[in-house]
């Protein structure tokens, strides 16, 4: 049922092909290399776009110098941004935290060569275009060809005799092989290429991605003030969330456990007065006091669980989320792909995001099923909660989304809610969780 949701198969495919350096078996190496070739091929496609962009940039610059091409500068720089934006999306899918620098005062592209020279983000985009249109394209082509070369050369001894002379080659045409002995050599070269692909495919992908990681993010010097402002806002949100949580705990203790303990004190005093006059009445009062104490303990346990659920410590994030799903009134599936443990604050926030989201599903959505997907990619924990309900979730409508946003922002995370009228609803949360 959960497989019918948009994005679920993509999440499972990414989880399957995740680079896992801890297992080291042949299956994980194969999946990592397949993933590297797939993303490398996409990078090669962007490299072709970058390669064809280079002469257009040079032509636009030459015309602008002559004074007739100035109107072309802004569209050309906008196109460069589009190509660079495609690469940023690919890098984020690879797990790199590459943010777009085009916000605020530099949202518009440069309209002259002078503006392009003075805009550090434009210069970095142009430098990336040069590097990716050459170096990135070559590495992508290598990643794409290696598995095909390996398969072709390994099977070459089976069909070389029937191939035309122009096709009797190995290593992608680098060597001719027109005899039985050289055909057997093709099998050896195919095995060697396959081994190199398994061992170095992910590393080649990393080399292809490195220029984008280094150049396509915000310029460190320009972005410093924005980062300070963002950190200031984040820390303020964290303090606000902390204060709200303290007030919630204070209300829970004051209105619940404290009032019950006062009632117990009153009941015990009444029982002491009735001991000599009416032992039966005293016993009845003590029974009420005992019941009140048990209720107070239950409330205290609930408050403690709301601070840091013990199930997280006992069963880990996967077990805790499975327990939440089993208690949900709507049929719910859980998929957790998290190696090891995340920081306690991150796990607690992910737990409360899922708990609040499933509560909303049960109370408001009228859904017939829900799903929870939690995947860790390098230093980012992604939580996706989806349902097939009526949609229309609104943070201002008391649905708990504002509380989720406060908790996530306190950890410098992000929340994206997609809930059109008529459904479905999907809540995507990303939490940084340093290694």
Burial of residue 330 (CB within 10 Å: 0-12, 13-18, 19+) is: middle
User: 141 pLDDT exceeds 80?
Assistant: yes
d(CA 322, CA 332): 9
Handedness of CA 400, 401, 402, 403 (dihedral sign): positive
Choose among 422, 423, 418, 371: nearest CA to 395.
418
DSSP state of 185: H
pLDDT value of residue 347: 86
**At 15, is the pLDDT very low, low, confident or very high (cuts 50, 70, 90)?**
very low
User: 51 pLDDT exceeds 90?
Assistant: yes
**At 23, is the pLDDT very low, low, confident or very high (cuts 50, 70, 90)?**
very low
Token match 């001719």: residue? 176
pLDDT value of residue 56: 92
pLDDT value of residue 16: 41
Mean pLDDT of the region 356-372: 86
Q: pTM of this prediction? A: 0.49
pLDDT (tens digit, 9 = 90+) per residue, 209-234? 999 988 888 776 655 565 566 666 66
pLDDT value of residue 87: 92
Mean pLDDT of the region 240-245: 64
DSSP state of 284: H
Which residues on neighbouring strands pair with residue 431, listed in sequence order? 381
CB 139 within 8 A of CB 197: no
Share of the chain above pLDDT 90, in %: 14
Q: What is the edge-to-edge ordering of all strands in the sheet holding 370-377?
A: 332-337, 370-377, 380-387, 425-432, 414-418
* Least confident residue range of 1-10, 299-308, 363-372: 1-10
pLDDT value of residue 70: 83
User: 188 pLDDT exceeds 70?
Assistant: yes
Choose among 166, 165, 153, 222: nearest CA to 194.
153
**At 248, is the pLDDT very low, low, confident or very high (cuts 50, 70, 90)?**
low
CA dihedral 238, 241, 242, 245 (to 10 degrees): -160
Mean pLDDT of the region 74-90: 90
14 or 67, which is more confident?
Answer: 67
């Amino acid at each position: 049922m959960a497989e019918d949701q948009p994005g679920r198969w993509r999440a499972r495919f990414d989880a399957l092909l995740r680079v896992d350096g801890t297992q080291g078996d042949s299956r994980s190496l194969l999946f990592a290399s397949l993933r590297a070739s797939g993303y490398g091929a996409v990078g090669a496609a962007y490299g072709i776009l970058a390669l064809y962009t280079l002469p257009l940039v040079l032509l636009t610059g030459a015309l602008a110098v002559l004074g007739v091409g100035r109107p072309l500068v802004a569209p050309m720089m906008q196109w460069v941004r589009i190509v660079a934006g495609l690469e940023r999306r690919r890098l984020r899918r690879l797990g790199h935290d590459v943010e777009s620098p085009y916000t605020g005062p530099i949202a518009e592209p440069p309209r002259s060569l002078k503006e392009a020279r003075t805009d550090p983000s434009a210069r970095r985009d142009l430098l990336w275009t040069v590097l990716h249109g050459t170096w990135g394209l070559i590495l992508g082509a290598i990643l794409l060809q290696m598995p095909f070369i390996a398969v072709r050369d390994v099977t070459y001894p089976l069909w070389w005799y029937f191939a035309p002379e122009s096709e009797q080659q190995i290593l992608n045409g680098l060597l001719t092989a027109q005899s039985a002995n050289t055909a057997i050599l093709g099998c050896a070269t195919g095995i060697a290429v396959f081994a190199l692909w398994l061992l170095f495919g992910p590393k080649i992908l990393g080399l292809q991605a490195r220029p984008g990681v280094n150049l396509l993010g915000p310029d460190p010097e320009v972005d410093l003030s924005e980062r300070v402002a963002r950190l200031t806002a984040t820390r303020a949100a964290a303090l606000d969330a902390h204060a709200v949580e303290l007030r919630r705990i204070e209300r829970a203790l004051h209105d619940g456990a404290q009032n019950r303990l006062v009632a117990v004190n009153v009941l015990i005093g009444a029982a002491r007065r009735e001991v000599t006059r009416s032992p039966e009445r005293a016993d009845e009062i003590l029974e009420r006091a005992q019941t009140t104490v048990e209720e107070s303990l239950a409330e205290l346990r609930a408050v403690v669980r709301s601070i840091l659920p013990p199930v997280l410590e006992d069963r880990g994030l996967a077990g805790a989320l499975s327990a939440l799903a089993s208690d949900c009134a709507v049929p719910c599936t859980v998929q957790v792909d998290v190696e090891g443990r995340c920081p306690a604050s991150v796990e607690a926030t992910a737990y409360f995001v899922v708990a609040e989201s499933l509560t909303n599903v049960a109370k408001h959505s009228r859904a017939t099923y829900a799903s929870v997907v939690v995947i860790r990619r390098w230093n980012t924990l992604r939580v996706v909660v989806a349902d097939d309900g009526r949609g229309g979730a609104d943070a201002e409508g008391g649905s708990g989304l504002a509380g989720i946003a406060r908790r996530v922002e306190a950890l410098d995370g992000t929340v994206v809610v997609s809930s059109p009228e008529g459904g479905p609803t999907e809540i995507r949360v990303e939490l940084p969780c340093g290694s």
